[in-house]
Chains A and B, each alone.
Chain A
């Protein structure tokens, strides 16, 4: 399984993602420029990653301009063919803007950017993963939320150290403490926390590797 990491103007976690995938997970990584369209070197067993950052300066709305880029047209088509796509932070915002994932990410409820370690759970285990965003409050209609639950599409929720999904552990006001979701087909993943920032022993936290594994991206 190999990875493509898309570089938009304003991406700033692109090299971090490349570093984590290559050096911590021993994966082959190809960097993809937003003006290009070619994804012919990937099969649907591979994964395209939309990294964090401020694509196109977050002008208009986070992710709103990136979705119209040449590369995103190809990525949307790739996802529709069943190829794996992971969006982290700004990448998650782009996936929501492009309609590959339902819902939106609104400005944090306290209106401040927040960067810190948080705990998230998949319902079984608790992971400590950093967040760093100003617009990470997941929001969707009740129908969408019900559908996400019915289809087990909620990947991660913010929780306390013991795994309890409580209001105090919610860093941005996200509905149902949602930190990450997947699409109905199960090949497109979006999350606000940054697993690539927690994958190196030198940084003292390797929970990120478990996140990549849970998403089936370490095969």
Chain B
């Protein structure tokens, strides 16, 4: 078969990339080699259109032990000789085509990223976006994705402790499925994804290789069109039982001390793991593809190299200690096969049926090595002028607060996600301390370390759409606020950057601005980026999704006594509003869903005020000066108050008396940032005022906790339980 530029284009490589490959090899590649470049230089593996900007994010500092990009996931110091590893990853495109397996393998993939480093996963989170929930297609996708996440995570045995679900029309064709995992590792047991030691054997372990998921990486790098449905085999099939065994076996084999390096086989399978491990170690590998266990006959060399069959790992083992490694995998009834060895020439040699099928310099394939890096042009999107022209005075203020609140609390973006969350095992591991004591971020015991972790995923993409820079800063700030309201100190974050087509300059503008905003906020909060994932091409003929840079953040609670919960505790406790109160309804759920205004600015946000507010909250919590803390986010103050009442069925009595200068909708439903609602006993209130003065943070006493009745501006709104009923059942009622 003659290899031409047309062949390359059919494999989604450009003409320039084909020329670059020829230069790297000093010859024309054969088909197998070209397939390897196609997969490794796909957007998904090479970050070719994003890496330039990703490098501007703070990737060091704080308690970072392993910097972003050096390993499968970032590692941060927890103290006491332990590290926490966490990462978020997208599985958007597979989930759009086959929601159950797409979401399931997304969960499986992110878990492998964690335990390949020697860490035991202790918690999972996810961030999901769909179209309008009343739409039949959305319901099918939602049911499939939730079932898929549950199927994999529940069996694998890691609790799903937190998440977010949003419904916006822009996600109708392109749902987003982002999965995050958090693991704990003894700092001296961390395993690197590096191949070292010439002559060391290379082992393949786990499930056999089939034709599933071939080309998945390049598939994720294309727009979804009608023809995509034809690409079904590009979606992988997961087996959580195999992965559970693989987890236990991998952690056990690390204990032998015979493992030199280990990497999971995810996107681009064998070619990705062999090239990345070799490039990192500055070595090569000689691989005999005949020794790869297969589940299908007559597979071609390129199919073996590119297959994305799940639940597989590549290990480099110390020569002479093969038997110890084999014994562990055999104990767990997993396939284990010595498929080759480490060489000193930096070249990957792949043999099959006695033929040398491919010879490629490992370095030439990988990110940071030979993979191309592009500067993309960008320009300010036209729609932003609609947003700049928004005038709050064109919107009449509301008169009936109660009926508007009733509508607001049942909007799927605001209502309880119980219908989703109860399908996930949230308690396995007996470490989820939020089950019986809810908080803004999930609080998870890090058993053995004497500490707990607070974790959250956050991104309000409407804000990012309205102002990519501010919106993405807010995503970081809100994540930190959730950690702080739970009593944690933010450690670091992982990001999942879901955007449209990077070759569209208006989309790329959103990307660039979002990264700048994220970087600025990260530096302010001293939360380095430990790693993450970019998912471009979340776009269809109707346009791109809202720019959605999902932030997964982890914080540390050194002393469990300092964890904080969100709910009202006692009748007559004082309700305190914290933060600056402004006349703002920009990009609120209220404005978007009830008043149907789709173009308005991002909500009020001041980074300095936000930082002061968070320091103030953390200090109050450490002083044991408050009884609850819950941040103000979607739905504004009124929803925050309701949510504080539900857990113990306590009502509240509040009024707007002191804020006559503010609009009703802005005060009750506005989403201005940097705010929270805390409660305290009457005795604690003066001390809170004093600290607030010292730290220059506004605090306002707005009412008190009641036995059951909700009273707003002296109007009786009935029992808190009636509101809870609306809140908890809104989503279930919409699903057929």
Contacts and interface: CB of A to CB of B under 8 A. Distances in A.
A57 interface: yes
A204 B422 contact: no
Interface in A160-210: 194, 196-197, 199-200, 202-205
A115 interface: yes
A20 B428 CA distance: 12
A17 B560 CA distance: 22
A37 interface: no
B429 A16 contact: yes
25 contacts: A9-B241, A9-B244, A9-B333, A10-B244, A10-B245, A16-B430, A19-B447, A54-B154, A54-B244, A57-B239, A113-B150, A113-B151, A113-B425, A115-B422, A115-B426, A117-B436, A130-B435, A134-B154, A194-B427, A197-B427, A202-B560, A203-B430, A204-B433, A205-B435, A205-B436
A120 to B, nearest CB: 16
A-B CB proximity, top 9 nearest: A12-B157, A57-B241, A204-B436, A54-B155, A16-B430, A132-B425, A115-B425, A204-B437, A197-B427
A41 B239 CA distance: 36
A112 interface: yes
Nearest to A134: B154
B445 interface: yes
Given A54-B240, A202-B433, A203-B436, A113 B154 contact: yes
Contacts of A77: none
Given A19-B430, A54-B240, A58-B155, A9 B436 contact: no
A114 B581 CA distance: 41
B427 A57 contact: no
B445 A114 contact: no
Classify the interface of chain B: helix, strand, loop or mixed: loop
A46 B155 CA distance: 29
A132 B428 contact: yes
Interface in A51-70: 52-54, 56-59
Interface in B252-281: none
A10 B241 CA distance: 6
Contacts of B151: 113
Contacts of B155: 10, 12, 53-54, 57-58
A194 B425 CA distance: 12
A163 B500 CA distance: 54
Contact of A112 (B240, B241, B423): B423
Given A113-B150, A113-B423, A132-B427, A203 B245 contact: no
B240 A130 contact: no
Nearest to B430: A16
A116 interface: yes
Contact of A13 (B332, B422, B428): B428
Contacts of B333: 9
Given A53-B157, A114-B422, A114-B423, A203 B241 contact: no
B434 to A, nearest CB: 9
Nearest to A17: B430
Contacts of A199: 430
A15 B428 CA distance: 10
Contacts of B332: 9
A12 B156 CA distance: 7
B194 interface: no
B444 to A, nearest CB: 11
Interface of B: 147, 150-151, 154-157, 239-242, 244-245, 332-333, 422-430, 432-433, 435-437, 445, 447, 560
B152 to A, nearest CB: 11
Interface in A114-152: 114-117, 130, 132, 134
B723 to A, nearest CB: 19
A130 B423 contact: no
A114 B420 CA distance: 10
Interface centre among A12, A132, A196 (most CB of B within 10 A): A12
Nearest to A208: B430
A13 B433 CA distance: 17
A114 to B, nearest CB: 6
Nearest to B445: A202
Contacts of B427: 115, 130, 132, 194, 197
A20 B445 CA distance: 14
A203 B432 contact: yes
A31 to B, nearest CB: 12
A105 B424 CA distance: 20
Contacts of A203: 430, 432-433, 435-436
Nearest to B563: A202
A196 B436 CA distance: 15
A197 B333 CA distance: 29
Contacts of B447: 19
Nearest to A24: B430
B428 A12 contact: yes
Interface centre among A20, A113, A114, A197 (most CB of B within 10 A): A113
A16 B447 CA distance: 11
A56 B423 contact: no
A51 to B, nearest CB: 11
Contacts of B242: 57
Contacts of A205: 435-436
B671 to A, nearest CB: 30
Nearest to A199: B430
A196 B429 CA distance: 10
Nearest to B151: A113
Contacts of B425: 113, 115, 132
A34 to B, nearest CB: 10
Nearest to B418: A116
A2 to B, nearest CB: 21
A84 to B, nearest CB: 22
Contacts of B147: 112-113
Interface in A1-49: 9-10, 12-13, 15-16, 19-20
Contacts of B157: 12-13, 53-54
A211 to B, nearest CB: 14
Contact of A16 (B240, B422, B428, B436): B428
B488 to A, nearest CB: 16
Contacts of B239: 57
Contacts of A112: 147, 423
Contacts of A10: 155, 241, 244-245
A52 B332 CA distance: 18
Given A58-B241, A115-B424, A203-B433, 18 more contacts: A9-B241, A9-B244, A12-B157, A12-B428, A53-B155, A54-B154, A54-B240, A54-B244, A57-B240, A57-B241, A115-B423, A130-B427, A130-B435, A134-B154, A196-B430, A197-B428, A203-B430, A203-B435
Contacts of A130: 427, 435
B655 to A, nearest CB: 33
Contacts of A56: 241
Nearest to A55: B241
Contacts of B430: 16, 19-20, 196-197, 199-200, 203
Nearest to B443: A202
B361 to A, nearest CB: 40
Contacts of B245: 9-10
Given A54-B155, A117-B436, A204-B437, A12 B241 contact: no
A116 B427 CA distance: 9
A102 B662 CA distance: 67
Contacts of A59: 241
A219 B242 CA distance: 38
A132 B437 CA distance: 18
A203 B431 CA distance: 7
Contacts of B560: 202
Contact of A132 (B154, B240, B445): B154
A114 B419 CA distance: 10
Nearest to B242: A57
A168 B114 CA distance: 40
Nearest to A13: B428
Interface centre among A57, A196, A205 (most CB of B within 10 A): A57
A52 B428 CA distance: 9
Interface centre among B333, B430, B432 (most CB of A within 10 A): B430
